[in-house]
Amino acid sequence: MTARSSNTRVGQEQAWRARRGHQRTVAAAALLIGLVVVLTVPPGAEARAQTQAEAYGAGGAAQAASFGLRPGWDADAVLAAVGAVAEVEPLMGASAGVYRAWPRAGGPAALATRLRSLDGVAWAEAPRPVSAYAAPNDPQFWDQYHLLRLQVARAWETSPGSAAVTVAVVDSGVGPHPDLEGRLLPGLNLIHASTPNDTGDLNGHGTALAGIIAANVHNRTGVAGIAQRVRILPVVVLDESGVGNDQDAAAGIIWAVDQGASIVNVSLGGQWPSGALQAAVRYARDQGVVVVAAAGNDSQPGVRYPAAFPEVIAVGATDAGDEPLAYSNSGPEIDVAAPGSSIRTTGFFDTALHEPTYRLVSGTSFSSAAVAGVAALLLSRNSSLTPARVEQLLEDGCRDVGPAGWDPQTGAGRIDAASSLALLEGGSSVGDVTAPRSPDGVTTFVADNDESARVSLTVSLHADDDRAQVEVRRTAGRPARSTGEGGLVAVLDAPPGDQELHMTDDPVALGFTPGSVVYFTAFALDGVGNVSNPVWAYAYLPGGEVEASPMSSEVVSAASTFRDVESGHPFAKAIQALAAQGVVEGFSDGTFRPDATVTRAQITKMVVLALGWAPVEPAPGARATFRDVPVAPGYPYAHVEAAAVAGVVNGLSGTQVPGDARLLFGPYQPVSRVQVARMLSRAGGEKLDLPPAGIVLPFYDLADDAGEEVAPVWEMGVVRGRSATGFAPWSSATRGQVAEMLFRLETVLASRP
């Protein structure tokens, strides 16, 4: 095997980088095309341009019909017939045989019907809507279950949010936080009279609310807010302990209204009615401002004030399973509910560490912020909506998650952004289009003995899910990307709850042939057929043409090679296989020590031995590639030099000295997870696939240049993150982790021609 050539590598990296920027490029190109159309109307086409301009609706969608010609017909005669009732032009030239027609009277649907009756017209249709896929690249988006429950990505297709909408957060202040950069307006501090302009958050409560409402979206950072581009107006009425009084809260509401706020979120309250607070919320309502407030977290009947006032949208809390939270206050004043348990959002910005922080928060405070965010989407779409109309749209779009009809814990139900926006557009409430959460993982184990081989497949599931079943499919060559790909292994009933689904079956029945690699991909499906993202693992069946290879049945048997790596150890199979090949060794006491760290020289030797490269023995007068790996027989020089020649290892940047441009290698330094991933990617070379177009690595802590090189081994399942969104790139890699990754690479390469 050889490493990927540098030219090929550069080309693939450029393609990967280009794909990552595809959506931005398309958007820019679309804008440019629009400008060209305006500037290049040909002479004599003014009348047609006017007809076309009038045919565009307020939303900018062309109100023209499109049609195609039947083969063999006189194109000029057909176009003349169409031209009698509409203005006609080819769609991007006539080469594709597609034309667009602007009606001189009536709409495009009526014109399409008329065109279909003409001889020589093969088909005709009115314009049909298409939209960009709205799932953002914020790495923790898929951990924000509340966005999935509220169908926020679907709602963005109609109303992503507008900077013309301002949401006042009357709370403990906001920020600073990079995920709120550009979202914050100058606010007011009513707690500290000496610093009225200081609206920074010393408690954290307000920052969490602001992130739920309007954290920046599509910025490859942290979390996503519900309402894109919406502005946050911070009003400080709570101190460092989260305590304030009703008069300051009332003053904050009135001030926010006078500053032009569209929505006021009040995630605070008291046990007793307050004349000051009621006057403030009445003033806001009279000025056309929506007021949203939290019901309270006292685990009892009795909604807190100001949520209990009729002028306010009172919000209760639900959990990830759409069950009412036990501590969410209840009462006849509850209007709607929203997720309020373990909501991932913005935390403090640690200026000492220079990195953003994120946190999980729970309570009706954060349910209120979610409702304020959805209200902001409605007002972004139609700024003339009254508070009463906003409340009605929120209630009518709710999912009835409690007892049938209104109930004192969830009111009209759990809000749904997509449904409320559909109602605003004059349609009906949309069905559930939120995909269930992916299974937590898929693991496989091949047990082999003299009599038979069995494949054990385990699918691990998370409690916070609305799935109804799990579908497992098998493929060869690569994992399945959809439920229609590959062979169906099983459809398993999978109600919500932490659980594992186990299958053990004859390998032949599962699609194996001896010596083959088969991928098992699991999809979760909910009750209406929405499908989760795939989760997969591969399994290798010994035998066949590769019986004599190091990965034989003898190697992957259940017998333990080292006394601290028993058969149930997660890395047992990999360690046993590599030990049989001589790639890894144990210690004199019979242990492997899988949790011990690995040095850069050790991982280099393992890669060279695993891929079967010949170590480089010293030649007379040879000069080492790295200053700190001197020319000498055997380890580490022979292996480090072989890997350097293959382009698999690099030195430590910035370690040159005057008169010697060579770098240091750091052979005895611990190797990090990202360094291992990069080495394995280079070692795998062209036998590794890049992710499909549109797939972006989910790791928020992986720099772009590292991500481009890690992408192939991530795509092939050789390396994985520490969590769904974190790679932990600079954590030291352990002996067990390296063995597992290297064995996966061997398995993938063995399956490739």
The model's pLDDT over 688-734, given as tens digits with 9 standing for 90+, comes to: 888 766 566 777 677 777 888 888 998 888 998 776 567 878 778 88
Tell me, what amino acid is at 114?
A: R
Tell me, what amino acid is at 51?
A: T
pLDDT band at 58 (very low <50, low <70, confident <90, very high): very low
Residues 6 or more apart whose Cβ sits within 8 Å of residue 444: 455, 456, 457, 458, 520, 537, 538, 539
**CATH of segment(s) 441-546:** 2.60.40.10
- Mean pLDDT estimate for the chain: 79
At 28 the pLDDT is 26
Look at the block and give the residue holding tokens 């559930």.
432
The pTM of the whole model exceeds 0.85 = no
Beta-carbon-side half-sphere exposure of residue 595 (alpha carbons within 13 Å): 2
Q: In which element (H, E) is residue 169 found?
A: strand 166-171
Q: Is 171 a catalytic residue?
A: yes
Strands 231-236 and 188-189: parallel
* Structure letter (DSSP) for residue 4: P
Residue 444 has pLDDT above 60, yes or no: yes
Look at the block and give the residue holding tokens 């190697």.
555
Residue 20 has pLDDT above 60, yes or no: no
- What strands, in cross-sheet order, belong to the sheet with 166-171? 188-189, 231-236, 166-171, 263-266, 290-294, 313-318, 336-339
Look at the block and give the residue holding tokens 């050539």.
5
pLDDT (tens digit per residue) in 531-572 = 776 777 766 555 433 222 222 222 233 334 687 887 677 788
At 663 the pLDDT is 86
At 367 the pLDDT is 97
At 130 the pLDDT is 45
For domain 44-129, which CATH number applies: 3.40.50, 3.30.1560, 3.30.70, 1.20.1250? 3.30.70
pLDDT (tens digit per residue) in 370-398 = 999 999 999 999 999 999 999 999 999 99
CATH fold label, 146-397+409-424: Rossmann fold (3.40.50)
Residue 177 has pLDDT above 50, yes or no: yes
Which of 146, 177, 205, 639 is catalytic? The answer is 205
At 446 the pLDDT is 61
Q: How far apart are CA 557 and CA 573, in angstroms?
A: 8
Average pLDDT estimate for 65-93: 87
Residue 17 has pLDDT above 60, yes or no: no
pLDDT (tens digit per residue) in 486-513 = 888 878 776 655 556 666 556 566 555 6
Percent of the chain with pLDDT over 90: 35
Alpha helices in 494-599 (DSSP H): 572-581
Average pLDDT estimate for 638-661: 86
146-397+409-424 matches 441-546 in fold: no
Q: In which element (H, E) is residue 604 found?
A: helix 600-610
At 299 the pLDDT is 87
Please tell me which residue, 548 or 10, carries the higher pLDDT value: 10
User: Residue 637 in 3-state DSSP?
Assistant: helix
Torsion over CA of 509, 510, 515 and 521, rounded to 10 degrees? 170
Which of 66, 138, 159, 171 is catalytic? The answer is 171
Residue 249 has pLDDT above 90, yes or no: yes
Q: How far apart are CA 753 and CA 745, in angstroms?
A: 14
Residue 411 has pLDDT above 60, yes or no: yes
Please tell me which residue, 355 or 86, carries the higher pLDDT value: 86
For 664-678, give one letter per residue: b (16+ CB within 10 A) or e: bbbbebbbbbbbbbb
Comparing 39-53, 142-156, 296-310, 353-367, the range with the smallest average pLDDT is 39-53
pLDDT band at 228 (very low <50, low <70, confident <90, very high): very high
Please tell me which residue, 350 or 165, carries the higher pLDDT value: 165
E strand spans, 589-712: none
Residue 578 has pLDDT above 60, yes or no: yes
CB atoms within 10 A of CB 312: 30
Average pLDDT estimate for 96-111: 84
pLDDT band at 459 (very low <50, low <70, confident <90, very high): confident
Residue 70 has pLDDT above 70, yes or no: yes
Percent of the chain with pLDDT over 70: 77
The CA–CA distances, whole Å, from 481 to 123, 492, 641 equal 33, 19, 40
Q: How far apart are CA 603 and CA 643, in angstroms?
A: 10
Residue 644 has pLDDT above 90, yes or no: yes
Q: How far apart are CA 258 and CA 132, in angstroms?
A: 37
At 41 the pLDDT is 27
Residue 175 has pLDDT above 80, yes or no: yes
Residue 140 has pLDDT above 60, yes or no: yes
Please tell me which residue, 549 or 15, carries the higher pLDDT value: 15
At 289 the pLDDT is 97
Tokens describing residue 112: 């399409």
At 492 the pLDDT is 76
Tokens describing residue 608: 């060279």
Which of 274, 328, 365, 420 is catalytic? The answer is 365
Comparing 204-213, 298-307, 486-495, 545-554, the range with the smallest average pLDDT is 545-554
Domain locations in the chain? 44-129, 146-397+409-424, 441-546, 577-750
Average pLDDT estimate for 615-639: 89
Tell me, what amino acid is at 568?
A: G
At 169 the pLDDT is 98
